[in-house]
């Protein structure tokens, strides 16, 4: 999301997080950062396989993800928590319904096109594709929209991702998302509200 800090502007021209600073090298966009880290630190092959076809499958999912899962899943958090927090007004329920319908379509495609009957997106081992997907899909869960409840195939995939990452690490990584509702109780600086409210509203258009 957007950041108004001076430091963020030095790392990312877009003034957005996540952003990476590695010595004098800076990089924005989460997917680019993940790929950079896998190459620099020579992570286990299953995360971003050296096999050209498996790697292409990861790339395919990452390309599809931005216009589908990412286009809808995070909006549940903006609608139910962030926008009311910064504007002081809840959004109409129709807006959440619209987003959930778009997300439902994306989840159907995710299950049928990418997951199918496999353990993970590209086969029997977890990859960056699964990590990118699960982080996005935990956001609706954090605001009370349990997208896994009526989707057994998706629910089992989530369980396998948790097991592959390690449950403790999985929930530690998602702690902020799963407790996002607690933000409703904090006091926001009025000037910050004035700055960020239009930005958040624009994200929903």
Question: Which residue ranges make up each domain of the chain?
Answer: 1-43, 50-204
Hey, what CATH class is 50-204 in?
Answer: mainly alpha
Q: Tell me the per-residue pLDDT of 36-61, one tens digit each, with 9 for 90 and over.
A: 999 999 889 999 999 999 999 999 99
- Average pLDDT value for residue range 170-186: 85
pLDDT of residue 7: 54
Q: Is the pLDDT of residue 8 over 60?
A: no
Q: What is the rounded CA–CA span in Å between residue 10 and residue 26?
A: 9
pLDDT of residue 130: 97
Report the chain's mean pLDDT, rounded to a whole number.
87
Q: Hey, which residues does 25 pair with through a beta bridge?
A: 22
Question: In the numeric block, which tokens belong to residue 203?
Answer: 């994200």
pLDDT of residue 135: 94
pLDDT of residue 16: 63
In the block, tokens 């286009």 appear at 71
* pLDDT tier at 182, thresholds 50, 70, 90: confident
Q: What is the CATH number of domain 1-43?
A: 3.40.30.10
């Amino acid at each position: 999301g957007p950041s108004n800090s001076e430091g963020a502007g030095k790392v990312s021209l877009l003034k957005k997080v996540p952003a990476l600073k590695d010595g004098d090298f800076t990089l924005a966009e989460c997917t680019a950062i993940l790929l950079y880290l896998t190459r620099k630190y020579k992570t286990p092959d299953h995360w971003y396989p050296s096999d050209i076809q498996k790697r292409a499958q990861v790339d395919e999912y990452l390309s599809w993800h931005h216009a589908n899962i990412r286009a809808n899943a995070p909006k549940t958090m903006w609608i139910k928590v962030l926008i009311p927090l910064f504007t002081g007004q809840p959004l109409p329920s129709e807006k959440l319904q619209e987003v959930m319908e778009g997300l439902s379509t994306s989840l159907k495609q995710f299950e049928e096109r990418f997951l199918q009957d496999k353990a993970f997106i590209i086969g029997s081992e977890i990859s960056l594709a699964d990590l990118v997907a699960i982080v996005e899909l935990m956001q609706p869960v954090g605001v009370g929209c349990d997208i896994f409840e009526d989707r057994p195939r998706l629910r089992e995939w989530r369980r396998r991702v948790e097991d592959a990452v390690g449950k403790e690490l999985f929930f530690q990584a998602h702690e902020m998302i799963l407790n996002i509702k607690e933000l409703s109780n904090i006091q926001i600086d009025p000037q910050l509200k004035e700055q960020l409210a239009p930005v958040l509203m624009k994200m929903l258009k």
